[in-house]
């Protein structure tokens, strides 16, 4: 079986709310990413589609993806460019200068750069938010080897450093302008995350409709902003407080985050809509998707990490934990992120060769079917920031929904849920030996004991920790903001 599909749910005309019959409206979800793998946006979109509404995801474009597509689940995805370079001022002047430079290059070398061929300095930002790594040689889009990249001059390095510090405001400037030109208009804008809310606010002001700020993390304590200092940190905090104040409502993903945000953002305590998954029934008998994909023996136990391949997620500790585990236990990393090349390299070396396998992220519609094929879900997130200490990540609820016992960091955000539901084993995330022991304990279970654990996870996921128990408060808030039932 697969999860219940909203497409089979009752139509909106038969789904009245306390405020009366549903009035079809248009929700625009504004994302700072491509819209391919955002489970929360996917769940919101599916719910609204099932109620007879129209949903558009206004996302960022990435090479290889269409600018405009109709998702099979019924919503539209519109992607726009958003990059540091595009956010620089004097857009027309830069275009003219670029043409002049290419013309001079052609006169000097007799070679006209092909479309899409780009020479970038190390550290230069690209549309997807990553950075180009310095290498000894580069290739053009047709595979030809280009001359080695030379170390940039001091003025150019200083300029590149200044651009890196301005990356967020310049990228936002690009995203806002291009989103405005995309021609999308809705009855309500739902801005996802720190890099999505300013775009949603700009569009909401243009259309004079409400805007929701979905603050899914404590952003000053997460990723790059957690390392910022001085005026950069002050400016980032001031910007977020302003965005929160201009939003019609702030929502977040757990109570601990809500308490911190109410104080720091100086707003009404955010509405909590947890990142739970749909109620789901795993296939019986269990599928062996990972075994089939990687050619593993049927008796092999699968330890799954799924999600972002970023620092401080405990993936390095998982590599260390695999050393010393018995044969017949394999680690699968399913996701994407800046550390993917490093983990790919490690997975091809001893002692991990044949024990660690990597695959791309899968679409949200297929995710639980894959997670349910694992024997252990691992999420040893490190206690490196306040955001991590209080986090309740998607993967915690996805493992629970799929009925897979989890090895989870003993941190305040996750510990109480794991203890309450009995859905996993809590460990010191900085201790690979503790992670190893927990994995081995679950992997050693016989089938009957493992299935008993699965049923315990599913019972919790079908009760309090399901999307069905969370989405109602979001729908009610939408109705309050627009004055028409959703």
Residue 319 domain flag: yes
The reply to whether 183 and 222 lie within a common domain is yes
The reply to whether 226 and 241 lie within a common domain is yes
Distance of alpha carbon 354 from alpha carbon 345, whole angstroms = 13
Instruction: Give pLDDT, residue 119.
Output: 38
Q: Is the dihedral of CA 359, 171, 199, 195 positive or negative?
A: positive
Q: Which domain covers residue 299, as residue numbers?
A: 289-465
The reply to whether 222 and 369 lie within a common domain is no
Residue 120 domain flag: no
Residue 389 domain flag: yes
The reply to whether 386 and 351 lie within a common domain is yes
Q: Is the dihedral of CA 189, 193, 199, 205 positive or negative?
A: positive
Strand 376-379, strand 406-409: pairing:
parallel
Helices 154-165 and 167-181, axial angle in degrees (round to 10) = 60
What single DSSP character describes residue 152?
P
Instruction: Give pLDDT, residue 169.
Output: 87
What single DSSP character describes residue 131?
B
Distance of alpha carbon 110 from alpha carbon 99, whole angstroms = 15
The reply to whether 190 and 226 lie within a common domain is yes
The reply to whether 366 and 352 lie within a common domain is yes
The reply to whether 349 and 212 lie within a common domain is no
Residue 146 domain flag: no
Instruction: Find residue 334's DSSP bridge partners.
Output: 306, 359
pLDDT by residue, tens only, the chain of 486 residues = 344 433 333 333 345 556 679 999 999 999 999 999 999 999 999 999 999 999 999 999 999 999 999 999 999 999 999 988 888 787 666 666 667 766 766 776 666 555 444 333 333 333 333 333 333 333 333 334 444 445 566 666 666 656 666 788 889 999 999 999 999 999 999 999 999 999 999 999 999 999 999 999 999 998 778 788 888 889 999 999 999 999 999 999 999 999 999 999 999 999 999 999 999 999 999 999 999 999 999 999 999 999 999 999 999 999 999 999 999 999 999 999 999 999 999 999 999 999 999 999 999 999 999 999 999 999 999 999 999 999 999 999 999 999 999 999 999 999 999 999 999 999 999 999 999 999 999 999 999 999 999 999 999 999 999 999 999 999 999 999 999 999
The reply to whether 313 and 428 lie within a common domain is yes
CATH number at residue 375: 3.40.50.2000
The reply to whether 424 and 474 lie within a common domain is no
Instruction: Give pLDDT, residue 228.
Output: 81
Q: Which two tokens stand for residue 202?
A: 């700009």
CB 407 within 8 A of CB 425: yes
Residue 145 domain flag: no
Instruction: Give pLDDT, residue 422.
Output: 96
Indicate the number of domains in the chain.
Answer: 2
Residue 334 domain flag: yes
Distance of alpha carbon 177 from alpha carbon 40, whole angstroms = 25
Residue 130 domain flag: no
Which residues of 151-210 form beta strands (DSSP E)?
188-192
**Which residues fall within 8 angstroms of residue 391, CB to CB, at 6 or more apart?**
217, 254, 381, 411, 413, 414
The reply to whether 263 and 308 lie within a common domain is no
Instruction: Give pLDDT, residue 16.
Output: 54
Whole-model pTM? 0.82
First to last CA, the chain: 29
Residue 377 domain flag: yes
The reply to whether 412 and 265 lie within a common domain is no
Distance of alpha carbon 375 from alpha carbon 39, whole angstroms = 22
The reply to whether 245 and 313 lie within a common domain is no
């Amino acid at each position: 079986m697969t999860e219940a599909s909203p497409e089979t749910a009752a139509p909106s005309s038969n789904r009245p709310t306390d405020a009366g019959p549903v009035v079809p409206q248009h929700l625009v979800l504004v994302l700072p990413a491509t819209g391919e793998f955002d489970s929360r946006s996917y769940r919101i979109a599916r719910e609204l589609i099932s109620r007879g509404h129209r949903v558009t995801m206004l996302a960022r474009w990435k090479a290889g993806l269409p600018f405009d597509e109709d998702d099979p689940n019924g919503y539209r995805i519109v992607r726009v460019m958003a990059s540091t370079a595009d956010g620089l001022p004097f857009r027309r002047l830069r275009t003219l200068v670029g043409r002049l430079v290419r013309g001079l290059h052609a006169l000097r070398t007799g070679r006209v750069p092909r479309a899409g061929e780009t020479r970038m300095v190390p550290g230069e930002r690209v549309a997807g938010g990553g950075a180009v790594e310095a290498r000894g040689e580069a290739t053009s889009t047709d595979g030809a080897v280009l001359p080695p990249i030379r170390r940039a001059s001091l003025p150019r390095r200083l300029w590149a450093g200044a651009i890196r510090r301005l990356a967020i405001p310049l990228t936002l400037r690009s995203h806002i302008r291009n989103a405005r030109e995309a021609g999308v208009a809705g009855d309500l804008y739902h801005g996802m995350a720190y890099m999505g809310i300013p775009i949603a606010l700009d569009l909401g002001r243009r259309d004079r409709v409400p805007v929701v700020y979905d603050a899914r993390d404590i952003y000053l304590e997460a990723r790059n902003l957690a390392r910022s200092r001085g005026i950069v940190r002050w400016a980032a905090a001031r910007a977020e407080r302003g965005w929160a104040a201009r939003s019609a409502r702030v929502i977040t993903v757990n109570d601990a985050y809500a308490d911190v945000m109410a104080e720091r953002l100086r707003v009404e305590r955010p509405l909590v809509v947890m990142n739970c998954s749909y109620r789901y029934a795993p296939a019986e008998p269990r599928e062996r998707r990972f075994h089939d994909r990687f050619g593993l023996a049927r008796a092999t136990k699968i330890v799954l990490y799924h999600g972002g391949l970023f620092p401080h997620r405990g993936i390095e500790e998982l590599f260390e934990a695999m050393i010393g585990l018995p044969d017949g236990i394999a680690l699968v990393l399913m996701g994407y992120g800046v550390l993917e090349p490093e983990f790919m390299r490690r997975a091809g070396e001893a002692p991990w060769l044949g024990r660690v396998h990597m695959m791309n992220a899968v679409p949200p519609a297929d995710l639980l079917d894959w997670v349910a094929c694992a024997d252990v879900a691992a999420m040893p997130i490190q206690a490196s920031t306040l955001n991590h200490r209080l986090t309740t990540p998607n993967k915690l609820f996805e493992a629970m929904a799929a009925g897979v016992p989890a090895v989870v960091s003993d941190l305040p955000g996750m510990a109480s849920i794991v203890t309450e539901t009995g859905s996993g084993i809590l460990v010191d995330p900085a201790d690979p030996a503790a992670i190893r022991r927990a994995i081995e304990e679950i992997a050693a279970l016989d089938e009957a004991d493992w299935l008993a654990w699965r049923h315990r996870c599913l019972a919790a996921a079908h009760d309090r920790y399901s999307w069905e128990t969370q989405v109602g408060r979001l729908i009610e808030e939408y109705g309050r903001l627009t004055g028409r039932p959703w």
